[in-house]
Each structure stands twice: as C-alpha cells, then as structure tokens.
Structure 1
Amino acid sequence: MTSRQKAEQKLQEMTSGFIEKLKPILFAPVSMQQMVTAQDVPAKGPVWVSRTVFEKPEGSHELGSVLKDAFRALDFGGDSTYDFTIEDVDVQWTAYRPVGKEKEPEPEITEHEKFNGMMKDVPADTVILYAHGGFYYTGSPSSVRATTLALARETGGRCLVPDYRLAPQCPFPAAVVDLFLAYLSLLHPGKDAMHKPVSAQNIVFAGDSSGGNLVLSLLALLQHLRDHAAGRVRFRDQWIDVPLPAGVATLYPHCDHAMSFASHIRNRPYDIFILDLLPHLQPNYPSCDIWPTKPPREDIYADARTLLHPLVSVAIAPAWSANNMPPMFIATGQEKLTDEQYYLAKRAEKAGATVQFYQYDALPHSFASFFPRLPQSKHVLSQWGAFCRDVVKRPGDLESVWVRYAADDVEFKGMELESPVDVEESVEVRRGKMREKLAVRKVWRGPTETAML
C-alpha cells in the first residue's frame, strides 16, 4: 500500500467513525435541532460580538414587488407565487479582540459600546457578509462564530452574520430576502444604525454549505437586477444602485438540490452523507410539529417545482454566464457536491471571472468544521481568508487557480485538477437531468410504518 493509499484509508476511517457519532444528531427531529442550534450563545475569548437589528424599510411592498418579479423572471416559465414578506433582520458583527483572553466572557457593556470597541480595534473597511450553513433549517450567527472569527483575524476586517429565517417554517426565498436586506443595509444604513455606509468594493460574500448556496443565490439575484431592473431599487425612500460585491468566497457550497451530478454516487465513500437522500428525507426520520410541513412537500427548503429555480439550485443560474462576475473562491472535499460546484465555477470562469477552486482528496463535506485540527482544515481556512483579504485590498493581483491536494500532500504542493464533469454541457441539458431526478422524489409525509417496525 502506497503512502497516498494509507493516507486516504486513514481519512476514510476518521470520517466513518465520525458518521457514527453524528447519526444521533442528524436523525434528531428538525424542531429539536433547530431549537438547539439557533440559540444565541454568549461569546467567549478574544472576540468582539455586537448584536443589532437591520430594520426593514417603510413601504417595503415596493421592494417586495421588485423581488417577486425577479423570482418569477428567473423561474424558466414556472408559475410559483413566492409568498414571502420583508422583515427586520437580526445580525451580529464579529471581529478579533486583541486584548481578549481565552474563554473570557463578553464585556458587560452595551451592544453599541461593543461595536465602538470593535471599530477601534479593527478600523479596516473589509466586511464579510457571512451566511451560516446548516441544511437551511439549523444554525445561527453563534454556531459559526469560530469560523467568522478566523476569517476576521485573517483579513483584519469584520464579519456580519445575519440570523436569517430558517426552513421549513420560512422556505425559499425568505433567507435570500433577509440576506438581500442585510446587503442593502450595509450599503445604505438606517438612521439608527451603528455602522456607516460600506462600499460594495469592501464587501465579500462568504458562506459554508447551505450558506454558500445562499450567498451565491444573492449574487445571482443582484446580477439579474442589474441586467433587468436597471440595477436600481427603491430603498429607504430613495433610489439606489445595486452593485456587485468585491468577491464571493464559499466552502463546499450546495448547488444542486436535485442531486443530479455523478459525484453524488462516485464520492459517496468519502463523504459523511452516505445515503441517497439527506437524513430529513429518510423514511425512518422522526416527525415533529414543523416537519413534515402542512401540506407536506418534497424538500425542507422548497417544493419539488421550486427546487429547479436557479436561485435554489444555483448551479444553473444564468448569472455565471455574465461577463462582469466578481472573483470567486470555492473549496471542497472529495464529496458528493463536488461536481455541481465545479460545474458552476467553470461556467463563471468561461465567462471571464477569476476563479480559485481547491479540492482536498478523501475528505468529506464540512471537513474544516468537523476536523479543525487537520492540516487540510488549517490550510483551507488560510486560503479562504487570504482570498477574502486580497479580493478587497489587491483584486488586480488575483489569478485563477484550479488545484487538487492528494490525501498525503500535507505540504500542499498540489496537482492539476482534472475536470470531473462535462463543462460544455448546456444549462438546458443539465436542467433536464435535474428534472428527471426530481420526478421520482416523493413528498415527505413522516416516517413510514415499515420504517418504524
């Protein structure tokens, strides 16, 4: 057995052991998972955390109409109604606190005083608008605080993490609408906001897993508004431009809700998700007061018809064929989602975008969160942070990178990343394959009698 094979075997054994520990959590009722992970836990250690609310604009119905028009126009002729509201969004600012000691509790001062302290320690203008992961139905700003603190330290900037609305109670597009409001509020704060306006060229969209999907969806929405709504919307009683951010940086983003790419089978031995469907769609998954929904649907985030929307399955969004997309960073394991990420990234590069794509062999989805001590986890966080820093401070120096790291490559010399998918495949052909996969997806009505025996 070669050193590479031994390294792959060791990583696979590590993942297999972790799966056994993870099963009780993944198969807990949705409401229980949501209750535990959505809590706001007090911060500890060398970190500034300041909580505030970005208020919805008065007369938000006009903005809502613009968004509904955009959702319908992007729907490839679909007839969904997109029933959503624009609401206030709770957000948390996060930054490194140099004088903070390990496990030191938050200072007992007001949120505004915390923000002012943060601004004294971190005067840099870089702001990372971060969307947390969690299957679209779990997680909160506090659940990703270790990650956002690491990004803040690496970039010398601040992270803004919206506590966006969660599925299944608030399906698509509620979370995207919340992120949209957060972005506009960064650009044009309300009169009582703690922060001053932030330039779009100082803002980076970032997220992990489902959060990666959400920031890619937000970017695709912005591109549509620029192309079809003159790039302007009415917000806080004035017409404003809707610019694109400096860049978008994601770890293992979810890009195809139909799970139609070959990596869903090919990479199964390396991933934490070894079943054909996610846990909450399994026949033996426990029901609760919020899942299944009433009426039941095929997915926790949206119904089957809406799963084909290009702001849901973002791999097929038309934005990636635009010639003015900002630089993009995607890092992934050897996971079930790899092909869909690669397909999206190659479409963007073909249209002229600078793309940095990193694959870490024999590692599962969310490996940097699950195994933070691995050299690969430390390396990917460093690369991620460097991109977020450089795309603001020296964007002209960024170059496209397509690299794969073998399981035993702990010096990270890298090797050529061969294409795992047909990058010339049209969106229409891919959408047809997605439709075929969804055609056999059943509505989840709760655990079946057979599964409960």
Structure 2
Amino acid sequence: MSRQQRQALDELLRHGPLDLGGDVAEARAVFHGMMTSIPLPPDVSTKEGELGGVPVVTVATPDNDPATVVLYLHGGAYAIGSAADAAGLAGDVARRTASRAVCVDYRLAPEHPFPAAVDDALDAYRALLDDGIPSSTIAFVGESAGGGLAVATLLAAKDAGLPQPSSAAVFSPWADLSVSGDSAVGKAAVDPALTPEGLRTRARDYLRDTDPTAPRASPVFADLTGLAPLLIQVGSHEILLDDAVRLTARAAEHDVHVELQVWPQVPHVFQAFAPMLDEADAALDAAAAFTRAHWSTGATTDTSGEALRAGARS
C-alpha cells in the first residue's frame, strides 16, 4: 500500500471546500458538486423510482444478478447527501457483489428529524420483502451516517418482526450521535475530513429533543441481539474510529457475528477513493466477499424468515 497515495488523499480532503457543520443549504450544494464532479463509469446505470413510498435510485452494472439486492444507505451526517450523490460508491459495490444496489433517498434533517431516516430505510426494506425478494438475498451497505443508519434499520426490522437481511457491511459508521468516543479528541489532529464540532451540529439538527443515546439514533448503546452478521470497516485516521470499535464490541457482547477491519492511516469513508488508493480497492473487495459469502449461506435459512414476516403481517 502506497504512503504517497495516502498523503495525496489527506491533502485533498484537508483542502476540500466542504464545511460539514456549516449552513445546510450551502453544505448540500458543495457536497453534491464534489460527488458529481467525477462522471460515473460507463458500465454503471442509474434509475430513479420508489419503494414503499420512499424515493430510491437503483444502481446497476451489466453483470448484476437481479436476484440479489444491496440496500444502500448514503452518508452526510443525516443532513446532506442523496441517493444520487452516492451512486459512484454504490455502483462500485454493485459491480463487486454482482448485484443491483438500491440507494435510499431518506429524508434529511433539519427538515425531517429523527426517526425519519430510520422510518424511510425500514419502509424501503419492507417493500423489497413485500415484492417477494427473500431476506437471504438482501444485504445492507452504508457509509458514515448511512452506516449507523444501516444498523439502526436492522434494529427497527427486529422490533417490527421482520426477518434480518443476510448481512450488513458498514463503512466508517457514525454510530454514536453523542460524539463521546475517545477518538473524537484523540484522532482529531489526523482526521482530514471530520470535526467533532461539525458532527455535534448535525446531530442536534437530526435529534432535536431526542436523547443522543437512544438505540436507533446511536446503535453503540443498543441491544444488538439477533442482528444480521456485520462487517465494520474504519480508517485509523478518523474521529469515528471508536464508533466502529465500540459497535464491534457491542455486537460481540450480544452474540452477533461481527468482523472489524481497521485500515491504517486512511481517512473517513476511504472506500470512496478506490481509483487512487490501494487500501480502498482492497477494502471494497473484502466487503464484497463478505456480502457474497452470506448470500450463499443465508439462502438455506430464508424459510424461517418468510414465516417471521408472514407472522408480522397477520
């Protein structure tokens, strides 16, 4: 892995125009410009639609298997970003998993505070199930706030009596909206993208009067018993390092199959930079392998999941 690649990415992010904790409208416009400045690869197609009344963007590549679905949840601290903005990384995931990725355009804060994002993600997942797609061929993938949201949606699905998807892979998950991890301070100097102050501003927008330790807001404080297998990837140069480590420990405490991969000296959601960073390419390959492995093993257990879903709807 190249030290020069990591240094170049660090410089790029440190001098980027995005102020995560700044004016929401301006941050959304800047983020959109950043995410769409590089055209999608020619083999990636997108199609707008809806699932369960929630807008989605389906991202596909020519070799995708229509029987397998990645439910993709974008980042942006619950206040910026969109399904369309996430199409590049979602397309990379779709290509490597040979699936179609359905990016959920969940409602954003401050206009739509907690639990709007969780409700939208759960409605989209429920709609996939209602369309006859077995839970064993659905995987969740999320980055940053979308990573925390993926785990929150697993919790919501459990509470609703729905079957768990086959697995969930989360990249640099924001899983503690109280921003209380030691790395929020200890890694601040080496994180080129995020600041604790910016995260706290966006957390206030999303939570309003909700306790930041509420389980579906901050899954590091939740009872994770019964959740789908988890893969958690994080860089060592980010203030959310402790979110990933504590989420892993919490899952292990509650007997969840969990794998943690800490990639040295890389920043927040480094997977988005696969064209310029070897670690990102390797991490995406690892996430795809994890996802595909749980599709193949989960397919034999879907009968019970369907029975759970039928019971929940009766």
Which residue is equivalent to 1:379? Answer: 282
Which residue is equivalent to 2:183? Answer: 263
Q: Tell whether the 8 Å contact from 2:118 to 2:152 is kept in structure 1 after alignment.
A: yes
Deviation at 1:329, TM superposition (A): 0.4
> Letter of the aligned partner of 1:159 in structure 2?
A
Q: Deviation per CA, 1:274-318, whole angstroms, max 9, x where unpaired?
A: 64411783xxxxxxxxx9xxxxxx712112543221111110111
Larger Rg over CA atoms: 1
1:355 is aligned, of 243, 251, 258, to 258
Deviation at 1:37, TM superposition (A): 4.9
Deviation at 1:146, TM superposition (A): 1.6
> Letter of the aligned partner of 1:368 in structure 2?
Q
Deviation at 1:392, TM superposition (A): 0.4
Which residue is equivalent to 1:157? Answer: 99
Q: Tell whether the 8 Å contact from 1:271 to 1:364 is kept in structure 2 after alignment.
A: yes
Which residue is equivalent to 1:300? Answer: 205
- TM-score, scaled to structure 2: 0.84
The 1:257/1:372 distance shift into structure 2, 3 A limit, reads farther
**Where does 1:84-163 land on structure 2 (aligned, <5 Å)?**
88-97=53-62, 122-163=64-105
For 2:269 and 2:30, the matched residues in 1 are separated by 19
Q: Tell whether the 8 Å contact from 2:231 to 2:260 is kept in structure 1 after alignment.
A: yes
2:136 is aligned, of 186, 191, 201, to 201
Which residue is equivalent to 1:245? Answer: 165
Deviation at 1:217, TM superposition (A): 0.5
Which residue is equivalent to 1:313? Answer: 218
The 1:90/1:13 distance shift into structure 2, 3 A limit, reads same
Give the secondary-structure state (helix, strand or coil) at the position aligned to 1:359.
strand
Q: Tell whether the 8 Å contact from 1:200 to 1:243 is kept in structure 2 after alignment.
A: yes
Q: Tell whether the 8 Å contact from 2:87 to 2:103 is kept in structure 1 after alignment.
A: no
Structure number with the higher helix fraction is 2
Q: Tell whether the 8 Å contact from 1:270 to 1:363 is kept in structure 2 after alignment.
A: no
Which residue is equivalent to 1:80? Answer: none
> Which consecutive residues of structure 1, in runs of 5 or more, have no partner in the other structure?
56-87, 98-120, 190-196, 226-230, 232-241, 282-290, 292-297, 397-453
> Letter of the aligned partner of 2:59 in structure 1?
T
Which residue is equivalent to 2:269? Answer: 366
- TM-score, scaled to structure 1: 0.60
Q: Percent identity?
A: 27
1:272 has 2:185 as partner: no
Which residue is equivalent to 1:17? Answer: 11
1:53 is aligned, of 50, 56, 76, to 50
Q: Deviation per CA, 1:394-443, whole angstroms, max 9, x where unpaired?
A: 359xxxxxxxxxxxxxxxxxxxxxxxxxxxxxxxxxxxxxxxxxxxxxxx
For 2:228 and 2:66, the matched residues in 1 are separated by 21
> Letter of the aligned partner of 2:262 in structure 1?
Q
> Which consecutive residues of structure 2, in runs of 5 or more, have no partner in the other structure?
300-314
> Letter of the aligned partner of 2:207 in structure 1?
A
Q: Tell whether the 8 Å contact from 2:140 to 2:165 is kept in structure 1 after alignment.
A: yes
Give the secondary-structure state (helix, strand or coil) at the position aligned to 2:175.
coil
RMSD value over aligned CA atoms?
2.8
For 1:28 and 1:344, the matched residues in 2 are separated by 28
For 1:141 and 1:337, the matched residues in 2 are separated by 22
Deviation at 1:200, TM superposition (A): 0.6
1:179 is aligned, of 121, 124, 133, to 121
Q: Tell whether the 8 Å contact from 2:188 to 2:239 is kept in structure 1 after alignment.
A: yes
Q: Deviation per CA, 1:91-123, whole angstroms, max 9, x where unpaired?
A: 1211112xxxxxxxxxxxxxxxxxxxxxxx534
Q: Deviation per CA, 1:5-51, whole angstroms, max 9, x where unpaired?
A: x94xx677545523442245546521123246569979661123222
The 1:331/1:24 distance shift into structure 2, 3 A limit, reads closer
For 1:262 and 1:36, the matched residues in 2 are separated by 29
For 1:23 and 1:280, the matched residues in 2 are separated by 19
Q: Tell whether the 8 Å contact from 1:152 to 1:158 is kept in structure 2 after alignment.
A: yes
Q: Tell whether the 8 Å contact from 1:368 to 1:381 is kept in structure 2 after alignment.
A: yes
For 1:279 and 1:372, the matched residues in 2 are separated by 27
Q: Tell whether the 8 Å contact from 2:70 to 2:101 is kept in structure 1 after alignment.
A: yes
1:221 has 2:156 as partner: yes
How many residues were matched structurally? 295
